Structure 1
Amino acid sequence: MSSPSEAQMRPPYSPLYFLATLGAGGLMVTFFMFLMFWVPHPGRPVPIFEDIMGAFASGAVPLKAAIVAAMVGIAGLAFLMIKSLIWNLRGVAAFKTTDAYAALRTSNAETQLMAIPLALAMVVNGGFIVGLVFVPGLWNVVEYLFPLAMIAFVLIGGYGLMIMRDFFGRVLINGGFNCAKNNSFAQVLPAFAFAMVGVGLAAPSAMSGSAMIAGLSFILSSFFIVVAILLAVANVILGLRSMMENGANAESAPTLLIIVPLITVITIAWMRQNHGLHVHFDVHGGAGETLSMLTTLLMVQLAVFALGLTVLRRFGYVSKFVTGPEKSAGSYALVCPGVALSVMLHFWLNKGLVASGLVDKFSLAYLLISAVAIALQVTMIWLVLKLNAKHMGGTDRQVAVPAE
């Protein structure tokens, strides 16, 4: 008997593989947290190359070690992010010529295409981090970069809006949306994508010295954040109703955790907007207000995280699709919640507990909470490497692609 051809053996492609690009980019942010909150950057909302080099030259050994770890981590994950992006762009180009793509465009799974603008927005955000960390003198020209970045995010957001236009134009006119198979939070993915565009558009609001740029940033980011919230609320209700009636979809179970990264992204966007309103438009909020918001949203994340882990454990998801032999493109959705919770803990600790005076910086309590964030970060690095080796390191096994 002749052996199957390479084309026959090759795993079927899914747009959900763009979540691998997203995961690598998100992990870059976890390393940037070391620099954001541990490297002094007076007069600027974020640390830049000059701040980092100055801290490395004069800082204590632990700070130097953290800077080295951050820069190595950001560089390595940036490479992994771009490598994954190229792999996905090639994959989706070939996928669009298949019957599977035509079938996807007429099913619930059409919204999986929103993983593409989600990943592209993350790449732009990641590129800005690379510039801040590795490019000397970037802050001297950053005001010229903000309009270009906003144009890029608007184009990515517009691409996402066209995908959702086609989806809603089909299901709201012709029907055909299968509510019974909507037994997950897979339909919340578009909300996550628009939130990622929104947080990118909000960056100039926090960083620009121009009131015009900051105001435009506030307005544009608000549009995509509002769209994200509306989509999230509607689809969480629809998905929860279907799960209560039909049970959760085993392969799509990781989507139950998608609320966690969605909250982190929207929270950062709000904090960026609030900073811009404070600097340019005389809107003032205290440390206690920030602590209240961050604590409330973190508690929501922990509740959702506990629910999602309960369902995943009941399905034995990790032993099947992560450490076991079965393969599902949707397993990359496990990376985002851990990354998001790690980032949220850094913000809660530094912008909430420390800023309000509840915890002293670098005290024992501070180090313990930071250790939890770092433990989540290390676990997600392991998960990304494990999944990449499993899904992108060979072509000998079939992949289970969540269809809805």
Structure 2
Amino acid sequence: MHVDVSRPADRYSPLYFLASLGAGGLSVTFFMYLFFWVDHPAHPVPVFEDVARVFLAGGLPVQGMIVLAYLGITILAFVHYKLLIWNIVQYRRLKGTPKWHELTTTNAETQLLAMPLTLAMAVNVGFVLGLALVPRLWSVVEYLFPLALIAFALVGWIAFRQLGDFLGRVLTRGGVFDVTAHNSFAQLLPTFALAMVAVGFAAPAAMSEVPLTAGVSLIGSTFFGVAAMLYGVVAAITGFNSMLHYGTSRESGPTLLVVIPIMTVLGIMFLRQEHGMSHTFDAEIAGIETLVFLSRLLAVQVVFLLLGLVVLNRQGYWGQYIFGTENSSGAYALVCPGVALSVMLHFWLNAGLVGAGLVTKFSPGFWAISGLAVSIQFVMVWFVWHLNRRHFGHARRAEPVPAE
């Protein structure tokens, strides 16, 4: 008799990179507390010295908020890098196996893009940790920006190489792409990966005082952003067409919500570019323009949130893969939309409503919208814990099966 005591994560899929991605995104959500609630007039983003000054001068609520932010940033960053290392080890072991051959000869090949997507997040999380924890980082930040651009360029090269392998195969050999298995937004994962590279590439544009650095950042982020949008339009249209013909794949249902993080990531990219054009190149951008732009992105997110929830509820996804007896690595795709919606609400409020003068900072209305963003964030923290316990926790003893 043979007894299976393996964990779901032991049946490895590249989609487990999304477990690391979700933890990294949640780490960044706690940085939003510092970014929007801690005064940092001398820097475009809060640095260690800004936080220390506000902590020492603030009352108990302010100090509690900062402590919570630091706990969230550091703990979730640890989980992010721990799962990233585990994924890289498992990814390397997967190469050359029959499962690898299956992945690289079917529609599922684009799952490999979860790796550069998470690597790009790892660079972003590293920068957040540096800002929050390293004293006097800003004195050498202009030397770090070129290194960051090189890092994102390398991640972008990995993403393009993997995407090129996939497109080169399906566009030169007829009949190898299964349209009947294209009935989801799973093919939008490359768009998400390229968009994550783009938003990272745009960071120096918003923060560098060196025009050349900011200019390279603007050009590079535009390239990756446009590439993401072009691929996304094609993948979304063809995927939706397949869903209308064959219905949405049950296990891939969460991919309907991937549009939400893509909108947030591209939105932040555009905001960083706008700040760089305004701060470094003297372009004039009105606050109301930013509000309208962010409102459009938020509207797209809400529409796809409603669509995704309708499909997931009708399919019984929650009872099957989240709270039921079955497990799917694709369930981690549900973390990113919640994280992205929380971050978008922060930007919509602070860069949009406050920037346009419609809401006063730290007013009751301000805290009401901030509270909504924080509530979504904590639901996602619980959700990550829940999924990690199911997929990476103690192995569950399965029913005995006859030995061969």
TM-score of the alignment, normalized to the shorter chain, above 0.5: yes
Q: Which whole-Å CA distance do the structure 2 matches of 1:190 and 1:212 have between them? A: 29
Q: Which whole-Å CA distance do the structure 2 matches of 1:353 and 1:8 have between them? A: 46
Q: Could you say what secondary structure the match of 1:249 adopts?
A: coil
- The residue number in structure 2 matching 1:147 is 146
- The answer for unaligned runs of 5 or more in structure 1 is 399-404
- The residue number in structure 1 matching 2:267 is 267
Deviations 1:337-392 (A, max 9, x none): 00000000000001111111111111111111111101100010011111111111
Q: Which whole-Å CA distance do the structure 2 matches of 1:177 and 1:362 have between them? A: 52
- The residue number in structure 1 matching 2:401 is none
How much does 1:395 deviate? 4.0
How much does 1:65 deviate? 1.3
How much does 1:86 deviate? 1.2
Q: Which whole-Å CA distance do the structure 1 matches of 2:379 and 2:254 have between them? A: 16
| Structure 1 runs, 4 residues or longer, greater than 3 Å off | 6-11, 394-398
- The residue number in structure 1 matching 2:114 is 115
How much does 1:305 deviate? 0.6
How much does 1:323 deviate? 1.5
Contact kept, 8 Å, 2:345 with 2:369, in 1: the verdict is yes
Q: Which whole-Å CA distance do the structure 2 matches of 1:365 and 1:3 have between them? A: 57
Contact kept, 8 Å, 2:7 with 2:395, in 1: the verdict is no
- The residue number in structure 1 matching 2:330 is 330
The aligned amino acid for 1:84 is L
The aligned amino acid for 2:349 is L
Contact kept, 8 Å, 2:7 with 2:396, in 1: the verdict is no
Q: Could you say what secondary structure the match of 1:180 adopts?
A: helix
Q: Which whole-Å CA distance do the structure 2 matches of 1:56 and 1:276 have between them? A: 29
Matches within 5 A, 1:96-111: 96-111=95-110
- The residue number in structure 2 matching 1:344 is 344
Given the superposition, is the C-alpha separation of residues 7 and 321 from structure 1 closer, same or farther in structure 2, using an over 3 Å criterion?
closer
Matches within 5 A, 1:60-71: 60-71=59-70
Contact kept, 8 Å, 1:11 with 1:396, in 2: the verdict is no
Matches within 5 A, 1:382-397: 382-396=382-396
The aligned amino acid for 2:173 is N
Contact kept, 8 Å, 1:10 with 1:395, in 2: the verdict is no
Q: Which whole-Å CA distance do the structure 2 matches of 1:288 and 1:196 have between them? A: 26
How much does 1:9 deviate? 8.9
- The residue number in structure 1 matching 2:219 is 219
Matched, 1:172 2:158: no
Count of aligned pairs between the two proteins: 397
Q: Could you say what secondary structure the match of 1:44 adopts?
A: coil
How much does 1:260 deviate? 0.2
- The residue number in structure 1 matching 2:78 is 79
Deviations 1:264-287 (A, max 9, x none): 000000000111111121211010
* RMSD (Å), alpha carbons: 1.4
Q: Which whole-Å CA distance do the structure 2 matches of 1:294 and 1:206 have between them? A: 17
Given the superposition, is the C-alpha separation of residues 229 and 320 from structure 1 closer, same or farther in structure 2, using an over 3 Å criterion?
same
Q: Which whole-Å CA distance do the structure 1 matches of 2:349 and 2:397 have between them? A: 43
How much does 1:3 deviate? 3.9
Q: Which whole-Å CA distance do the structure 2 matches of 1:41 and 1:16 have between them? A: 38
- The residue number in structure 1 matching 2:197 is 197
Contact kept, 8 Å, 2:291 with 2:351, in 1: the verdict is yes
Q: Could you say what secondary structure the match of 2:233 adopts?
A: helix
Q: Give the alignment's TM-score, normalised by structure 2.
A: 0.96
How much does 1:97 deviate? 3.2
The aligned amino acid for 2:376 is L
Q: Which whole-Å CA distance do the structure 2 matches of 1:320 and 1:45 have between them? A: 45
How much does 1:314 deviate? 0.8
How much does 1:60 deviate? 2.7
How much does 1:316 deviate? 1.4
Deviations 1:184-215 (A, max 9, x none): 00000000000000000000000001000000
- The residue number in structure 2 matching 1:19 is 18
- The residue number in structure 2 matching 1:40 is 39
- The residue number in structure 1 matching 2:373 is 373
Q: Which whole-Å CA distance do the structure 2 matches of 1:193 and 1:397 have between them? A: 36
Question: Bigger shift: 351-360 or 201-210?
Answer: 351-360
Deviations 1:114-150 (A, max 9, x none): 0000000000000000000000010000000000011
Given the superposition, is the C-alpha separation of residues 25 and 397 from structure 1 closer, same or farther in structure 2, using an over 3 Å criterion?
farther
